[in-house]
């Protein structure tokens, strides 16, 4: 994995200083710069995320874990991270109402994804009784 956290932190601090300077005169441009910085950070870690996923898939295959379950865990984790980023971005620009709706949508999405597992667990429990 080649995640250079120091480059990301440096990029973040430079972005922060630019945003603070620009926001004094034009808040909207500051918001756009913050969004660009967020996207830049996401792309900077994306290749590392792909490597982590590949390693987890190899481990799951070696352990005989059903790939469906690993894919579900990865999807739920991805949704949680993305929702957190968007929610915090909404809060940063002062829109807490939208932030709470984004969080709600993420929770519903995760609930929908986990229905097959809940159904399987209930079926197994019924078979034990």
Comparing 15 with 124, the larger pLDDT belongs to: 15
| Per-residue model confidence (pLDDT) at position 2 | 55
Separation CA 75–CA 109 (nearest Å): 10
pLDDT in tens, 10-65: 999 999 999 999 999 998 899 899 999 999 998 888 878 888 989 998 998 888 88
- Tell whether 61 is covered by a domain: no
- Tell whether 58 is covered by a domain: no
Q: What is the pLDDT confidence band of residue 75, given thresholds at 50, 70 and 90?
A: very high
5 and 39 assigned to the same domain: yes
81 and 42 assigned to the same domain: no
The count of other CB atoms within 10 Å of the CB of residue 34 is: 19
pLDDT in tens, 96-123: 999 999 999 999 999 999 998 888 889 8
Q: Are 113 and 76 in contact (CB under 8 A)?
A: yes
76 and 113 assigned to the same domain: yes
Question: Per-residue DSSP letters for 84-121?
Answer: HHHHHHHHHTT-HHHHHHHHHHHHHHHHHHHHHHHHHH
Question: Per-residue DSSP letters for 27-52?
Answer: HHHHHHHHHHHHHHHHHHHHHHHHHH
| Per-residue model confidence (pLDDT) at position 13 | 95
Q: What is the pTM of this model?
A: 0.77
3-class secondary-structure state, position 125: helix
| Per-residue model confidence (pLDDT) at position 70 | 87
16 and 47 assigned to the same domain: yes
What's the total number of domains in the chain?
2
Burial class (CB in 10 A: 0-12, 13-18, 19+), 74: middle
| Host domain of residue 84 | 66-129
Answer yes or no: is pLDDT of 1 > 80. no
40 and 85 assigned to the same domain: no
């Amino acid at each position: 994995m080649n995640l250079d956290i120091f480059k990301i932190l440096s990029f973040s601090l430079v972005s922060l200083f630019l945003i603070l300077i620009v926001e004094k005169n034009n808040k909207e441009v500051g918001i756009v710069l913050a969004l660009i910085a967020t996207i830049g950070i996401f792309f900077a870690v994306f290749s590392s995320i792909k490597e982590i996923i590949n390693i987890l898939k190899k481990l799951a295959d070696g352990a005989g874990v059903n790939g469906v379950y690993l894919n579900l865990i990865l999807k739920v984790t991805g949704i949680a991270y993305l929702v957190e980023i968007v929610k915090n971005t909404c809060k940063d620009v002062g829109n807490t109402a939208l932030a709470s709706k984004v969080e709600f949508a993420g929770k519903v999405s995760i609930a929908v994804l986990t229905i097959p597992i809940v159904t399987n667990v209930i079926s197994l429990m019924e078979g034990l009784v």
